[in-house]
Amino acid sequence: MALAEQKTDLAEARLAAISIPQAGAWLSEARNAAAARLRRMGLPVGRDEYWRYTRPDTLTSVAPVAAAVFDAQDEVPIFAEIETLHIVFVDGVFDAEESDDLTGENLEVARLAEAGQADIHWAQQLFGQLEAAAHTHVDRPLAALNTAIAPDGMLIRVTGPVTKPVHITYRHRDEHSDACLHHVIRLEAGSSLTLLENGPAAARFNKVMEVEIADRAAFHHIRAQGRDHERRAATHIFARLGTESRFKSFTLTANGVMTRNECVIDLQGDNAAAHVAGAALGDGDFHHDDTVFVTHDALNCESRQVFKKVLRNGATGVFQGKILVKEGAQKTDGYQISQSLLLDDDSVFLAKPELEIYADDVACSHGSTTGAIDETALYYLRSRGIPRIEAQDMLVLSFLAEAIDEIEDPDISAEIILRLQGWLARHRH
Amino acid sequence: MLNINNLHVSLEEEDKAILKGVNLEVKAGSVHAIMGPNGSGKSTLSYVLSGRDGYDVTDGTATLNGEDLLGMEPEERAAAGLFLAFQYPVEIPGVGNMTFLRTAVNAQRKTRGEAELSAGEFLKEVRAKAKSLKIDAEMLKRPVNVGFSGGEKKRNEILQMAMLEPQMCILDETDSGLDVDAMKLVAEGVNALRDAGRAFLVITHYQRLLDHIKPDVVHIMADGRIVKSGGPELALEVEQNGYADLLNEVA
């Protein structure tokens, strides 16, 4: 079978297997347009260059692979101590009982499933738009699939500074669940929001988040993908940044047999800054893929990609990161680092860093390393009386520090460090 | 306190003998200096005593207060009272100096079956000791040795020594890379720790450190052995005539 045909067949099979809920005109149009995009692209197969290091089959198949539900008895849920506007989805279904009222200062929050019934909604200017614009250099068909079929998601408009974070928890209860959510976030000029996300969501989760950040607005995003090991996830963040705006995203991934996190950032206004970071910890059949594409299309913008992976017992880490500096995007400051710490000889780290630059006055640097625990540093710590295991944990946290430093709020970074320490304590020989 | 008897050590990977029968006894309350040319085995001796990987002890013993040092893990040696001030202190990004110090102090206390210091007690103690070494609050907050100057790194070593209060302190070329003022500061830190229950083994190339840390006994090491021992005047002899004369004389 020809490759294109195989990909199209996969897409058709997925679309045929799903009954898309009825919606108002704007949402139906957006969904139909996305389905058309998907049909044109087809779903990814292993031979696609962009899927060279991560097998897409379990993400594209009609039915998800079952995943045992994991109930963490030994830790309180992450971010539980932080006062937030809490929104809960269970297996991708909105849980009104568990969620707070969808109101807050300087916030307009609505569910896609409800707002999509209306004839008009502010989100129609954005829904599927950033996703549609992100296929210019590389196809991202799983995101188009999401736009076409996602039954729900949150539509969040931020009109000023929001002090209390919005917190979305994704619970997993059914071992065959297949969740698909599509969020749209619009930060109006000068506004700010912190978004927290946690949880595995389902046996399989396809999530898209489109974020438009207007001039001088700031968006902080911290996510923890949950300890369920058997879950699979394909997520996309599409962010568009206006003048002097800020985007900061940090993801903690501990466990998971299949995670593909894509982040596509478009710097369109001058003097904007986008930072995207990740810390991933994996054991055994863990597979984690960070795929990032940052486009500089304005003057004097800064971007940072900081991705760190700790791998043991044959775990696999993947990083594909690109900085594209368009013609005229002078004074760009682009930085990219991807590193892995291999705790044994069986684990694998695959990295593909790329730079593509069409402006002449820019500073871009990238680096990628793979290494083991530094024996000299370990000896130094032990010579001070710190036992080997504790010393090793300190060095793992030391390795992850540059990524964790991207979290601005000290309470949230303390929460993340606590989870990292918990994982390390549970994964000792 | 420290007894080294006929210690023979080879490099694990090359099967190359480095120490060829070292004998040394350091009594509580005393300061011993080991001098010697490059490659004589001075640093190897400090590594072997503190438990660094990569060395094979082929013969001999080393004990601290009668306990077999060579059979212990590095952290056990530290808890037993041994401390090595590194020639090249290691940078550890992402770990705050204060966190590191507190973890080390409490790990040792725990190993010895003592109660851990509370955050308040620890803070009070570290501030006082840091102040005398001119280590400011900023340096305590920074990641361990990251971005520290040569002098700052060595002062930080002495601060660790002051906090851990070891019985047997080994200083491996603590004077290397220091200007005169920094060396004085380091020496003052060391001298403040001198007491009847504590001993020092100061490894150095040059006599100048010994102007500030006055030794009771000076040993000359060459080709993996201690070839000559004497009083402080031995260090002055080295300074004036170099090692060559002295080694010829021994040979």
Summarised one tens digit per residue, pLDDT across range B71-106 is: 999 999 999 999 999 999 999 988 999 999 999 999
Considering chain B, what is the average pLDDT of its residues?
Answer: 91
H, E, C per residue of chain A: CCHHHHHHHHHHHHHHCCCCCCCCHHHHHHHHHHHHHHHHHCCCCCCCHHHCCCCCHHHHCCCCCCCCCCCCCCCCCCCCCCCCEEEEEECCEECCCCCCCCEECCEEEEEHHHHCCCCCCHHHHCCCHHHHHCCCCCCCHHHHHHHHHCCECEEEEECCECCCCEEEEEECCCCCCEEEEEEEEEECCCCEEEEEEECCCCCEEEEEEEEEECCCCEEEEEEECCCCCCCEEEEEEEEEECCCCEEEEEEEEECCCEEEEEEEEEECCCCCEEEEEEEEEEECCCEEEEEEEEEECCCCCEEEEEEEEEEECCCEEEEEEEEEECCCCCCCEEEEEEEEEECCCCCEEEEEEEEEECCCCCEEEEEEEEECCCHHHHHHHHHCCCCHHHHHHHHHHHHHHHHHCCCCCHHHHHHHHHHHHHHHHHCCC
Identify the pLDDT of residue B175. Answer: 85
When pLDDT is averaged across residues A400-426 and rounded to a whole number, the result is: 93
Instruction: Tell me which long-range contacts A375-378 makes (C-beta under 8 A, separation of at least 24).
Output: A375/B53, A376/B90, A377/B90, A377/B92
Q: Which domain holds residue A154?
A: 3-374
Residues of A in contact with B100 (CB under 8 A): 381, 384, 394
- Given the cut 0.90, state whether the ipTM is greater than it: yes
Closest Cβ–Cβ partner in B53, B75, B143 for A385: B75
Give yes or no for a contact between B77 and B50, defined as CB atoms under 8 angstroms apart.
yes
Residues of B in contact with A397 (CB under 8 A): 94-95
**Reported confidence tier of residue B30, pLDDT bands at 50, 70, 90:** very high
* Two structure tokens written together for A294: 């940052």
Closest Cβ–Cβ partner in A387, A395, A402 for B107: A387
> Residue A429: is its pLDDT beyond 70?
no
When pLDDT is averaged across residues A151-175 and rounded to a whole number, the result is: 97
Residues of B in contact with A385 (CB under 8 A): 75, 78-79, 104-105, 107-108, 111, 164
Considering its fold, how many domains does chain A have in total?
1
CA-based nearest residue in chain A for residue B87 = A380
Distance in angstroms (rounded) separating the CA atoms of residues A312 and A27: 44
Identify the pLDDT of residue A155. Answer: 98
Residue from A369, A375, A382 to probe the interface with B (highest B Cβ count within 10 Å): A382
Q: Which residue has the higher pLDDT, A159 or B135?
A: A159
- Collect all residues from A whose CB is shorter than 8 A from any CB in B: 374-377, 379-388, 390-391, 394-395, 397-402, 404-405
- Inside any domain, residue A427: no
> Residue A373: is its pLDDT beyond 90?
yes
Q: Which fold has domain B2-250?
A: Rossmann fold (3.40.50)
Contact A395 B92 (CB under 8 A): yes
Residues of B in contact with A403 (CB under 8 A): none
**Reported confidence tier of residue A293, pLDDT bands at 50, 70, 90:** very high
- Inside any domain, residue A299: yes
Neighbours of B235 (CB within 10 A): 24
> Residue A241: is its pLDDT beyond 80?
yes
Contact A397 B95 (CB under 8 A): yes
Domain ranges for chain B: 2-250
Contact A382 B104 (CB under 8 A): no
Identify the pLDDT of residue A71. Answer: 85
Percent of chain A with pLDDT over 70: 100
> Residue B48: is its pLDDT beyond 70?
yes
Contact B92 A385 (CB under 8 A): no
- Inside any domain, residue A24: yes
Summarised one tens digit per residue, pLDDT across range B188-241 is: 889 999 999 999 999 998 888 888 899 999 999 999 999 999 999 888 888 888
Nearest-Cα distance to chain B for A216, in Å, is: 31
* Two structure tokens written together for A110: 């609505």
Identify the pLDDT of residue B97. Answer: 92
> Residue A130: is its pLDDT beyond 80?
yes
Comparing C-alpha atoms, which of A420, A377, A98 is closest to residue A279? A420
> Residue B250: is its pLDDT beyond 70?
no
Percent of chain B with pLDDT over 90: 63
Comparing C-alpha atoms, which of A215, A198, A287 is closest to residue A251? A198
Contact B104 A384 (CB under 8 A): yes
Least confident of A279-283, A338-342, B178-182, B192-196: B178-182
When pLDDT is averaged across residues A257-272 and rounded to a whole number, the result is: 98
Considering chain A, what is the average pLDDT of its residues?
Answer: 95
Residues of B in contact with A383 (CB under 8 A): 50-52, 74-75, 77-78, 83-84, 86
Percent of chain B with pLDDT over 70: 99
> Residue B138: is its pLDDT beyond 90?
no
Summarised one tens digit per residue, pLDDT across range A71-121 is: 888 888 999 989 999 999 999 999 999 999 999 999 999 999 999 998 889
Summarised one tens digit per residue, pLDDT across range B167-194 is: 999 999 988 888 888 888 889 889 999 9
Give yes or no for a contact between B144 and B95, defined as CB atoms under 8 angstroms apart.
yes
Identify the pLDDT of residue B189. Answer: 87
